[in-house]
Amino acid sequence: MPCFLPIPADHPFPIQNLPYGVFSAREKGPRVGVAIGDYVLDLSVLSEAGLLPSYGVFAEPSLNAFIASGRDFWNEVRATLQYLLDEETTTLSGNRRLRTRALIPVQELTMHLPVAVGDYTDFYSSKQHAINVGTMFRDKNNPLLPNWLHLPVAYHGRASSLVVSGAPIRRPRGQTKRPEAATPGFGPSLELDFELEIGYFVGQGNTLGEPISVTDAQQHLFGLVLVNDWSARDLQRWEYVPLGPFLAKNFSTSISPWVVPMAALQPFRVAGPKQDPPPLPYLSDGQDCAYDIALEIKLQTAAMANAYTISRTNFKEMYWSMNQQLAHHTVTGCNLRPGDLLASGTLSGAEKNSYGSLLELAWGGKEPLELPNGERRSFLEDGDTVILTGYAQGDGYRIGLGEVRGTIVSAPS
Amino acid sequence: MPCFLPIPADHPFPIQNLPYGVFSAREKGPRVGVAIGDYVLDLSVLSEAGLLPSYGVFAEPSLNAFIASGRDFWNEVRATLQYLLDEETTTLSGNRRLRTRALIPVQELTMHLPVAVGDYTDFYSSKQHAINVGTMFRDKNNPLLPNWLHLPVAYHGRASSLVVSGAPIRRPRGQTKRPEAATPGFGPSLELDFELEIGYFVGQGNTLGEPISVTDAQQHLFGLVLVNDWSARDLQRWEYVPLGPFLAKNFSTSISPWVVPMAALQPFRVAGPKQDPPPLPYLSDGQDCAYDIALEIKLQTAAMANAYTISRTNFKEMYWSMNQQLAHHTVTGCNLRPGDLLASGTLSGAEKNSYGSLLELAWGGKEPLELPNGERRSFLEDGDTVILTGYAQGDGYRIGLGEVRGTIVSAPS
């Protein structure tokens, strides 16, 4: 199904992708669009023109109403868009006035947070990440805590401070205690870090008291984004016992603006890592439920002309699948709502150059990361920009997640 | 300022209180009301009649729009309501038709969750509770973790599963591991517990990146409710390392339906506990910032004719004040939004009969609670009803928080 717009084979947003986002442009406020090549297709315009149903859903400043409309509606919209963008369809391509109104070049866009997130949950589902953290901070001979291989550990995150790619990240201040100090102190975090994660939005939710089974879980997913779970390691170390991370994570979490629908990712389903011991029945899932998505972390300091790739890994290595995460999250009866965000936790591959945080890449400051211009990093400095990207490689096309980027700005004085 | 309705001196809802809630009655959907004696005053009716401004705010199914309208508006509404309810004012009392429409007996009401909560944060701010838990599970000679006296420990809770008083509490199922077992198992929680807490709603929020100072914090509070943070202790023990409680708390959290405005509680401000060591400057607050509110826990098993008081304590004993909690929460720049809910954590007094959870009252099952009919409880059983109540005692009147109640129903089969 070639698109009537020319789109290179390595472009993140071909006709097979069609990720949803919320943008403003041309002096009109936030509304729903789909990325196609270097354009956004304004769904509110298509709907107004009678080419898509339910105008109200696309004129909204978030995807929530669209997500809540359900899977049949998503499928109908996606099929209609692929038809309209096909090179053999002239409805849009042959209507110059409509085309000019509906297709807006990316340079003209301001992107917004795509979803108004009710609750945000962050998992801890990369085995290598858990091993790395356990090795550094607990016991290198026994790095995984006893529960880790039996359930997908998670915590509730902060929804209010989710921001869209490009938002500046202000270095947080907070309370920390240096190991050698007798008492805690207060000041800007000196151990600011990123975390490479994949996030996914819940489509259909569940009623309080009615769990989602692991076999049904896939039907409850809407789509994926990249997540940078910025973390202040020094705040985290001091505050996190016994109730988990709080201020160390709640100052900002960045997500990519384009939500890639699960429908676009079905060709990339693969078997996940072998699970040993086998999980309890409520977490046991015979399906191929991992996704082959290549991920990359780039860093650009204020002194560098270009961003430099510091890590590459793959989403398919995540130990606990999204299906298992959803089933576990709801097994008590906890209700998920359309638009809730769940994230993977830091995704670290097996090799050092595939780790998902600077904490791991620089091994807690013991092996600072060497950058090509001679700079070194144990943690992020003001002016550093972190860019996370990812894509699934198809036969002659890519399903890209786009990118999530953020630049560190200095702490308030 | 006597009210034209007769209200006994020990009634929770006199004219000095005027708590806000969301109710439905008389075949009309959810809207905003104020409790006065054994009636609710329908603010949408008063507003429609031109006696209150901003009809839209009161016809809403949550208090969010009212809360977001700001302190000046709350003050104006409160003053108007106290005027209209005064025995010397005949606007309402003398207008039989309006009075019948606007004052609805409590027996006719269905109460709803008063606020659509964006984010819910739970603190851990009772020193005795932290000492009790530390003594039982860690080290009786050194029960407080090193950070506890330096900062108000907290975690992000689950907003979607907040429910209003009266909602049944379904016993959750989940993964647990008995100390003697080699591997974890799955089934209904066998250690279901309650937690007595006070919750408070944020009024005016803050912009991401701009902390609220401890001295300004009081201006950001809207009002208080009672909170029962239901907890599955066996799930919690197995899952909580290293990221804190997750499923153990997310199956339901109950709150009382009436939000008592801070304005009604100003006469009850008192000095909080002495803090030693003194907190860091960003947490240092010279104000009297504790509130003298008597709290009570009642338990009624299926076999009991009446509820029995199992604990009494006071909110003024909370170690970290609401001001300090707000300042700490936002010191990194984390943004709070109008209607966000923050809660105290389990409130336990110094004596055994003042503890705030069954875990503590029955000392982890070692000293089961003896009930007057001969029953014993280490944890909650199906059919048990827990009722939390509280009030501030004024001179000839009470500011009551009403109650939050919930009955345990059996786990899904």
Give the dihedral sign, CA A66/A69/A70/A73.
negative
* Percent of all residues in chain A with a pLDDT value above 70, rounded to a whole number: 100
Note whether B172 contacts A: Cβ–Cβ < 8 A: yes
SS (H, E, C) A66-129: HHHCCHHHHHHHHHHHHHHHECCCCCCCCCHHHHHHHEEEHHHCEEECCCCCCCEEEECCCHHH
Structural contact between residues A99 and A28, judged by C-beta atoms closer than 8 angstroms: no
Neighbour count for residue A1 (Cβ, 10 Å) = 11
The answer to whether B210 and B316 are in contact (CB under 8 A) is: no
Decide: helix, strand or coil at residue B412: coil
d(CA A56, CA A46): 12
Q: What is the pLDDT of residue B288?
A: 87
Query: pLDDT tens, B125-183?
Result: 999 999 999 999 889 999 999 999 999 999 999 999 999 999 999 999 999 999 899 99
Closest residue in chain A to residue B336, using alpha carbons only: A160
* pLDDT of res. B55: 75
Q: What is the pLDDT of residue A413?
A: 82
Select the residue of B153, B247, B280 nearest A186 (Cβ to Cβ): B280
Indicate if the alpha-carbon torsion angle A38, A44, A49, A51 is positive or negative: positive
- How confident is the model over B347-365, as pLDDT tens digits? 999 999 999 999 999 999 9
Which stretches does DSSP call E strand in B271-335?
290-291, 294-300, 308-314
H-helix or E-strand spanning residue B169? strand B169-170
pLDDT at B56: 87
Interchain CB contact of B119 with A (< 8 Å): yes
Between chains, do B150 and A184 touch, taking CB under 8 Å as contact? yes
Q: Quick: pLDDT tens for A43-79.
A: 999 999 999 988 789 999 999 999 999 999 999 999 9
Q: Give the rounded percent of residues in chain A with a pLDDT score beyond 90.
A: 96
Say if residue A346's pLDDT is above 90: yes
What pLDDT shows up at residue A61?
98
**Is A6 touching B (CB cutoff 8 A)?**
no
Q: State the complex-level ipTM.
A: 0.97
Instruction: Test B334 with A160 for CB contact under 8 angstroms.
Output: yes
Mean pLDDT of A263-280: 97
Separation CA B57–CA B270 (nearest Å): 33
Mean pLDDT, residues A172-180: 95
Q: What confidence score (pLDDT) does residue A286 get? A: 81
Mutation pick from B206, B212, B233, B246 vs chain A, by most beta carbons of A within 10 Å, is: B246
Q: Sort out which chain A residues have CB atoms less than 8 A from B246's CB and list them.
A: 153-156
Residues of A in contact with B145 (CB under 8 A): 241-242
Angle at A198 between CA A192 and CA A202, to 5 degrees: 125
Whether A243 and B336 lie within 8 Å, measured CB to CB:
no
Average pLDDT over residues A100-124: 98
Banded pLDDT at B394 (limits 50, 70, 90): very high
Interface check A179 vs B, CB under 8 A: no
Using the predicted structure, report yes or no on whether residue B1 has a pLDDT greater than 80. no
pLDDT of residue B413: 82
pLDDT level of residue A333 (50, 70, 90 thresholds): very high
Cβ–Cβ < 8 Å for A126, A346 = yes
pTM above 0.90, yes or no: yes
Residue A42 and residue A29 in contact, taking contact as beta carbons nearer than 8 Å = no
Which residue blocks in A214-309 are alpha helix, DSSP H?
Answer: 233-239, 262-265
Q: CA dihedral defined by A161, A195, A338, A157, rounded to 10 degrees? A: -50
Q: Do B244 and A239 touch (CB under 8 A)?
A: no
What are the tens digits of pLDDT across the range B292-311?
A: 999 999 999 999 999 999 99
| Three-state DSSP class for residue A239 | helix
Are residues A30 and A14 in contact, defined by beta-carbon separation less than 8 angstroms?
no
Mean pLDDT confidence for A256-266: 98
Instruction: Tell me what the pLDDT averaged over chain B comes to.
Output: 97
Distance (Å) of CA B413 to CA A326, A329, B409: 20, 18, 12
**H or E segment to which residue B391 belongs:** strand B385-393
- Chain B residues lying within 8 Å of A145, measured CB to CB: 241-242
User: CA-CA distance, B172 to B189, in Å (whole number)?
Assistant: 6
Phi (first) and psi of residue B284, to 5 degrees: -90, 120
pLDDT of amino acid A56:
87
In angstroms, the CA A171 to CA A169 distance is: 6
Cα–Cα distances (Å) from A78 to A83, A258, A292, in that order, read 9, 15, 22
Q: Single out the residue of A305, A306, A301, A295 nearest to residue A368, CA to CA.
A: A301
Assign 3-state DSSP to chain B and report helix, strand, coil percentages, each to 5.
Answer: 25, 30, 50
Which of A230, A246, A344 is the best residue to mutate to test the B interface, defined by the most B CB atoms within 10 Å of its own CB?
Answer: A246
Beta strands in A208-359 (DSSP E): 221-228, 231-232, 253-255, 260-261, 269-270, 290-291, 294-300, 308-314, 341-343
Q: Which of B243, B187, B410 is nearest to A280 (CA)?
A: B187
Do residues A162 and B320 lie in contact, with contact meaning Cβ atoms separated by under 8 Å? no
Q: How confident is the model at residue A102, as a pLDDT?
A: 98
pLDDT at B372: 96
Contact between A246 and B172 using a beta-carbon 8 Å cutoff? no
A4: nearest Cα among A73, A68, A90: A90
Q: DSSP label at A195?
A: B
The residue length of chain B stands at 413
pLDDT at A53: 87
Indicate the Cα dihedral angle A86, A91, A92, A95, nearest 10°. Answer: 140
Report pLDDT digits (tens) over A272-331.
999 999 999 999 988 889 999 999 999 999 999 999 999 999 999 999 999 999 999 999
Which residues of A are part of the catalytic machinery?
129
Question: In DSSP terms, which residues pair with B393 in a beta bridge?
Answer: B398
Q: How far apart are CA B164 and CA B160, in angstroms?
A: 12
Domain ranges for chain A: 20-112, 120-409
Which residue intervals of B188-248 are DSSP H helices? 233-239
Identity of the residue in A243, A335, A340 whose CB atom sits nearest the CB atom of B124: A243
Phi then psi dihedrals of residue A261, to 5 deg: -70, 145
Domain B20-112: which CATH number of 3.40.50.740, 2.30.30.230, 3.40.50.300, 3.40.50.620: 2.30.30.230
Residue B410 tokens read as 């059996």
Can you give the pLDDT at residue B395? 96
Nearest residue to A209 (alpha-carbon basis) of B163, B385, B190? B163
Conformational region of residue A79, where left means phi above 0, alpha means psi within -120 to 50, and beta covers everything else = alpha
Hey, is the C-beta of B371 within 8 angstroms of any chain A C-beta?
no
Least confident of A185-199, B283-297, B319-333: B283-297
Q: What's the one-letter identity of residue B265? A: L
Q: Is B150 a catalytic residue?
A: no
Distance, in Å, from the CA atom of A339 to the CA atom of B62, rounded to the nearest integer, reads: 20
Question: Least CB-CB distance to A159: which of B118, B209, B328?
Answer: B118
**Chain A residues in contact with B245 (beta carbon < 8 A):** 243-244
* B282 shares contact with chain A (CB less than 8 Å): yes
- With pLDDT > 90 as the criterion, what percentage of chain B qualifies? 96
pLDDT at A316: 98
Q: Is B138 exposed, middle or buried (0-12, 13-18, 19+ CB in 10 A)?
A: middle
The count of CB pairs under 8 A between chains A and B is: 194
CA A67 to chain centre: 17
Arch. (CATH architecture) of B120-409: Alpha-Beta Complex (3.90)
Amino acid code (one letter) for B295: L
Q: What is the mean pLDDT of chain A?
A: 97
Rounded to a whole number of angstroms, the CA Rg of chain A reads: 21
Residue type (1 letter), A146: P
Answer whether B252 sits within 8 Å of A208, measured CB to CB: yes
| Confidence tier at B285 by pLDDT (50, 70, 90) | confident
Q: Residue B85 above 80 pLDDT?
A: yes
8 Å CB contact of B246 and A145: no
Q: Measured between CB atoms, which of B161, B173, B328 is closest to A331? A: B173
Cα dihedral angle (B204, B208, B210, B213), rounded to 10 degrees? 50
Residue A37 distance to chain B (closest CA, Å)? 33
Residues 31-90 of B with CB under 8 A from A: none
Token pair 């129903």 is at which residue?
B409
